[in-house]
Amino acid sequence: MDDEEYLHRFGTPLDPIQKDEVPAKKPLAIEDQIVKDENGKRRFHGAFTGGFSAGFWNTVGSLEGWTPQNFKSSRAEKASKVQQRPEDFMDNEDLGEFGIAPQGIRTRDEFAKDSEQEQRTGQRKRKLMQPQADGPIPGVPVLEQLLRPVRDKVAVRILKSMGWKHGQGVGPRQTRKEKKQASARNKREQYLREHYGAEELPGRSDGATDDDEYDAAEDEEDEDITFAPDDYEPIFYTPKHNRFGMSYSGLSRAPVLSKSSAVATPMQHINLFGELEKSAKQPKLSIRGQAFGVGAFEEEDEDIYARDDMTRYDFSLADKQPMAKKVAHVQQRHVIDGFSEDKASSTLAAPFAIDLPRDYVPRNWLQRRSRFAPMDAKRQQQLAAATEHKRAGLGRHDLNPEQRAQLLDEKHFKTADVQSKKNPFKSASSASTQTKTKSLLELINAAGDNFTKGGIITTTGEEQPAAVELSADLKQTNLELLAKAAAMTKDLPVNTAGAGFKPFLGNDAKQQRYEKFLAAKLKDDEEITLFLAVLQPVTLSLWDREMEKKEFIQAAKIYRPLAGLMQDRFVSEATVHAQQVEQQVQPKQRDKIVVERSKSMWKPSALLCKRYNIAEPFGGALPDAEKELKKAKPKMSIFEYLESSVNSKTDFQTPSIIPKHMEPKPKPSATATAQPEIAAPAPPVEIEKPVVAATPAKPAFVPKTPLEQAVDAARDKPISEKVDLFKSIFDDTDEEEEPEPQLDTKLSDMQAALGLPSSNLANAAAANVLRNTSPPRGIFAALFKPTDEPVAPAPAKFTPIEGNKLKITYKSREERLKNDKELELAQVPTAELYGPKMPDKLQTEPASTSAAAQAEASIDAKLQQLWEKHAPAKRKHEEWVERVLSSEDSEDDSTDSSCSEHKKVKTSKCKRSHKKSKKSKSKKDKKKSKKSDKSKHKSKKKKSKH
Amino acid sequence: MPEFNNFNCAKTIDCKQGAVRAVRYNVDGTYCMSCGSDKKVKLWNPATGLLLKTYGGHADEVTDVAGSCESSHIVSSSLDKSIIYWDVSTGTPVRRLRCHAGGVRCVCFNEDSSIAISGGRDNAVMCWDIRTRRLDPVQVMKDARDCITTVLTNEHNIYAASLDGCVRHYDIRAGELTCDKIGEPITYLAQTRDEQCLVAGCQDSVVRLLDCETGGLLSEYKAHQGQDYHIECGILASDAHIVSGSSDGHAYIWDLLEGKVLQCLRISDNGGVVHSLATHPKRQELLFARRRDMYVFSADLQIEELQL
């Protein structure tokens, strides 16, 4: 059959033609055979008939032609927004079974039967197991639990074929005893997991507990009956590689909703429609799959947009398939036939070691779950012993007055004692003179009417003819109470204004300023600036002043004495005692309860009145105590404390909290009359003074300057009367300057005596403990970058008034005045300048330094000389800080360590801000001054250390 | 003077919410509410003992509850330092108000239920505007020196009883605070219907009748035991009888004028403190709370008939 060779066959063969039938037509030639779709349209056309068929007869038109969509919108009838869907742009065939957006409902591949799937795709698809969810939601995905796969996983199928049933555990069958042990172990593990593990177990099967009940009776009966093991979630321990807390896993950097595959493989198809998806607002619009260029009956092209990767190439010439080794199959226990144990052990090479703090005590969480749970006795004892010193304090309260007097070598106490022997009120007056006066006061109170009649009360409290008519026990209780209160509070220093907290202990001058600031109780911001401007030394730059102001305000806010913040919440113990005593006494006096009525003003809030439908009393003109209170004390908020971030909290020196001197208030009527008499016999302040003076932390009371006095005096006056004060502040420049240097010199003298760093040496900013000294970062790095000449030292003309540069922006009159003043000051001869004053010895030394040392400091010296040439004659003798540094270095040069130190200083000078280097210098100065004055002030230095 | 009919136990309801801390009637006495130590408030029909609704949302024991004038809302106070404004029908908390520094002990509504007044262990009385969404109190009164045990209000007065032994009258109309010092810690305060007198249950096992106008002590009622317990007292709707719980499991009813015990209700013979009670706003009916149970006592014939 030669014809047959040339016959192309496709499709199913037709029935063979009957003999008697005449073939109607010739068979169609290949070129005439046209593929048509169900509508009879030609499917392929154009470019060698391989083109794509689209649209309406391969046009963009429609049966009606290309008619634009009409848009009509009127006031009455707003045009509705036209929603375009992808389907609008699709052909009918796209929506068909083989199109890109099939419309019919059919089972998905995952759920389709094998045969169905193969039929559909023509190839076997391999279903990969879903990777364990690494997403932000821990645990087994809910959907996975809801939607069960049609078929079991392979592993499950294998297990089932081996006789495993759902709900059982995996493993060899166990006897009862073994099972018991296993369940105990599981429980333990679960406990551990619950308490330490991050994720909860997804509901353990409860079958285990059921078994335990009936096995007690037939315990050892049948060893050969075996049971399937319990199902339990095994714990997979993952080795720890980091120092984060247990079970911590950081946030993944990938956005939460991105598909995990988005970053995964390099061989990833670049999804052209991906961008389309993103840019389009409508989430519905999503077209997937290949649409163009591939016909329905053609196989897919290779992915031409894929990025190539070298890993896909095979570089080796060797045979790819390794020689299949014949592995001797040794059936191992617990290993299913056909599987083998993993040989590669995944143990961590070196366990991760953590350096524990030295005093770290591991805690057993089993012992005490909550801090409110009771502790066991032993541990409590231990804790109590450990914190003993905390409760005991510094032991100051352990001594009684006699002992303390002995320690202090005080004699006059004895006499007081002797006197008190005669006193009928022994218990009170033996405590201290202070309480003695109190008792006296009490006496006077008690015998108030007698007093006027002429009863004689001596200073010792003896009363001659007129008898006290107080009931004896009342007196006794009163006195005891007083004595107790006095004993409790007598060690405390006498209360002074703002003596409670000392946040700026490091800097005495500053602390004093702070105290003055506190005492002034200024509210207005401008007032504060003015007030501080008077107090602050001129050397302080404007920025420092601003900083100090902020610090003060903040500190005042934070370290407000107890009186401010919590006064309304606490009552002193003494008053409580007094009340109790009163209450104890009163019921005895009266059997019947008499209701005491007292009335006071109370302002209901406007809203309350409104809600009660009542007009506000007095038209709302009542003074509102609450509001004023509120103004005075802002709400306690955590954020307020956060505001203090200017000074990190660690930098604050722990303030010494000095509680107020507590005493029950004496009755107000008596105080006025008794006052002059008390003043004479009792000088409690004087007794305590030596103690106070010994501690350098508490600055002595600084007498007020005339200006301050003026301020104090004028505070309550109307503005019109304050002219004097303003004059003294703004106009008179001479007066303002005078007190400052005095104060400063006095201070520096004191500090020198104590071996402390003089606050004048560096400016206040350098000595400021609270200043953030870390190098500037971010945009500030550029601002505070050291300039190119790091060595350029002295010739800063206005070093003491650096702040002036910043002053350009501020142009208020006072400041301009001040500025001028400071400029004047800068030209004052050195003798009148205050500031870093060097020891006399040093000033002469530079001349006598060795040549080598001079070479060391040559740059500095040259610059110095250069400047001195051009400098005005007035300034010739000025000793600037830089110079001192060089001289000191040259002096110390003989030792190796100092040399390296010097270098360090130099490098640091380059790197760090100007201020920092200054600070280090000032430190050195301090060292030096110490050295020179060592012999003189040894004893004092010791004191300062305390 | 209405004659006194003996009260009989009409119903015993096991509230099933732990210890019952307080029982209260709503405004017209058709429903009652119980506060439990299980942090829930329950709404009951006292006549049938039917549980209507449970309101859960507090974080600690509920100490007091009050219904609004139109019975559409409930306000409850709790030891979790908050008070919650509930929607009765849905059972959802509409507003949770926190400002007290300690547990809240008592709460009440004003007449048109626009203001809720609460008193707490932080010695403060706070007035809350619950019609608006404002979360901080309209007014805070911190005059008391000890826990506030009861707050009451009428048209223009707010009364606060405190453990410091004082009853404070905040007169909104006059802008005046009147402090009546009794001297004994006051555990509960009730107001007569005519708003002339206050009934104060004191810690020394005496119920005292105080005159609002003068602050005078009108009468004292003794028989019950109240030491160490927060015993509540009340006055019956007729304003003629005073009732108080007792720590021995009984409750006592006195004649207001004569001060003699009319009836001792033996609620239980085996102990249990009868600490909370509520008087029906119209009928002769009483609610008691003892341990986990709520007891409905009634003297009205109607009720008895209904039950028969």
ipTM confidence = 0.88
From B115, B173, B180, residue closest to A611, measured CB to CB: B115
From B142, B176, B184, residue closest to A601, measured CB to CB: B176
Q: What is the mean pLDDT of chain A?
A: 61
Judge contact between B288 and B267, C-beta under 8 A.
yes
pLDDT at residue A77, rounded to an integer: 87
pLDDT at residue B243, rounded to an integer: 92
- Please give the residue range of the domain that contains residue B205: 8-307
Query: Quick one: average pLDDT of A762-790?
Result: 51
Integer-rounded Cα radius of gyration of chain A? 48
Token digits for A6?
């040339």
Judge contact between B46 and B296, C-beta under 8 A.
yes
Higher pLDDT, A16 or A651: A16
Judge contact between A429 and A421, C-beta under 8 A.
no
Cα gap A36→A42, rounded to integer Å: 4
The answer to whether residue B3 sits within a structural domain is no
Judge contact between B58 and B84, C-beta under 8 A.
yes
Which among B290, B273, B276 is positioned nearest to B15, based on CA atoms? B290
B238 touching A (Cβ < 8 Å): no
* First-to-final CA distance of chain B: 28
Instruction: Measure CA B168 to chain center.
Output: 17
The answer to whether residue A462 sits within a structural domain is yes
Percent of chain A with pLDDT over 70: 31
Higher pLDDT, A638 or A450: A638
B176/A608 CB distance under 8 A: no
The answer to whether residue B258 sits within a structural domain is yes
List C-alpha distances in Å: A430 to A463, A483, A691. Answer: 18, 9, 22
Which among A394, A393, A411 is positioned nearest to A402, based on CA atoms? A411
**pLDDT tens track for A81-110:** 878 888 777 777 777 777 777 777 776 666
B179/A599 CB distance under 8 A: yes
Cα gap B128→B295, rounded to integer Å: 32
The answer to whether residue B290 sits within a structural domain is yes
pLDDT at residue B23, rounded to an integer: 93
Query: Quick one: average pLDDT of A375-400?
Result: 73
| Residue at A57: amino acid letter | W
The answer to whether residue A557 sits within a structural domain is no
B127 contacts on A by Cβ (under 8 Å): 605, 608
Task: Specify which residues A790 forms β-bridges with.
Answer: none
B183/A587 CB distance under 8 A: yes
pTM above 0.80, yes or no: no
pLDDT at residue B22, rounded to an integer: 92
* First-to-final CA distance of chain A: 124
Judge contact between A608 and B172, C-beta under 8 A.
yes
Q: Residue A539 pLDDT more than 50?
A: yes
Which among A545, A544, A523 is positioned nearest to A532, based on CA atoms? A545
List C-alpha distances in Å: A912 to A123, A559, A773. Answer: 70, 33, 9
B164 touching A (Cβ < 8 Å): no
A568 contacts on B by Cβ (under 8 Å): 142
- Please give the residue range of the domain that contains residue A884: 791-946
Cα gap A612→A607, rounded to integer Å: 9
**Where a domain ends, among A692, A727, A742?**
A692
A617/B179 CB distance under 8 A: no
Q: Residue A651 pLDDT more than 50?
A: no
**Where a domain ends, among A242, A263, A289?**
A242
Higher pLDDT, A592 or A656: A592
B115/A612 CB distance under 8 A: yes
B139/A605 CB distance under 8 A: yes
Q: Which residue stretches of A684-763 are H helix?
A: 684-694, 706-714, 723-726, 733-737, 739-754
Q: Residue B141 pLDDT more than 70?
A: yes
**Based on the structure, what is the number of domains in chain A?**
3
B131 contacts on A by Cβ (under 8 Å): 611
Query: Quick one: average pLDDT of A883-898?
Result: 42
A605/B138 CB distance under 8 A: yes
B146 contacts on A by Cβ (under 8 Å): none
B179/A614 CB distance under 8 A: no
Interface test with B, best of A567, A572, A602 (most B CBs within 10 A): A602
Which among A603, A551, A478 is positioned nearest to A770, based on CA atoms? A551
3-class SS at B41? strand
Query: Quick one: average pLDDT of A802-826?
Result: 51
Site of tokens 């001289």: A887
A613 contacts on B by Cβ (under 8 Å): 112
B182 contacts on A by Cβ (under 8 Å): 593, 595
Percent of chain B with pLDDT over 90: 44
Nearest CA in chain A to B111: A612
Q: Which residue stretches of A297-411 are H helix?
A: 377-386, 388-392, 401-408
Nearest CA in chain B to A606: B138
Query: Quick one: average pLDDT of A915-933?
Result: 46
HSE-CB of A574 using CA atoms within 13 angstroms: 19
Q: Residue A131 pLDDT more than 50?
A: no
**Where a domain ends, among A636, A658, A692?**
A692
pLDDT at residue B128, rounded to an integer: 92
pLDDT at residue A459, rounded to an integer: 45
**Based on the structure, what is the number of domains in chain B?**
1
Nearest CA in chain A to B169: A599
The answer to whether residue B99 sits within a structural domain is yes
B301 touching A (Cβ < 8 Å): no
The answer to whether residue B168 sits within a structural domain is yes
The answer to whether residue A837 sits within a structural domain is yes
From A583, A598, A618, residue closest to B179, measured CB to CB: A598
The answer to whether residue B1 sits within a structural domain is no
The answer to whether residue A627 sits within a structural domain is no
B208 touching A (Cβ < 8 Å): yes
B172/A614 CB distance under 8 A: yes
Residue A194, burial from CB neighbour count under 10 angstroms (0-12, 13-18, 19+): exposed
B142 touching A (Cβ < 8 Å): yes
The answer to whether residue A432 sits within a structural domain is yes
User: What's the CATH code of the domain at B182?
Assistant: 2.130.10.10
Which among A146, A131, A134, A55 is positioned nearest to A93, based on CA atoms? A55
Cα gap A399→A413, rounded to integer Å: 15
Residues of chain A in Cβ contact (below 8 Å) with chain B: 568, 583, 586-587, 593-605, 607-609, 611-618, 622, 626
A595/B215 CB distance under 8 A: yes
The answer to whether residue A924 sits within a structural domain is yes
The answer to whether residue B182 sits within a structural domain is yes
A612/B172 CB distance under 8 A: yes
A597/B178 CB distance under 8 A: yes
Judge contact between B160 and B148, C-beta under 8 A.
yes
The answer to whether residue B89 sits within a structural domain is yes
B178/A612 CB distance under 8 A: no
From A595, A611, A617, residue closest to B216, measured CB to CB: A595
The torsion of the CA quartet B265, B271, B275, B276, rounded to 10 degrees, works out to -60
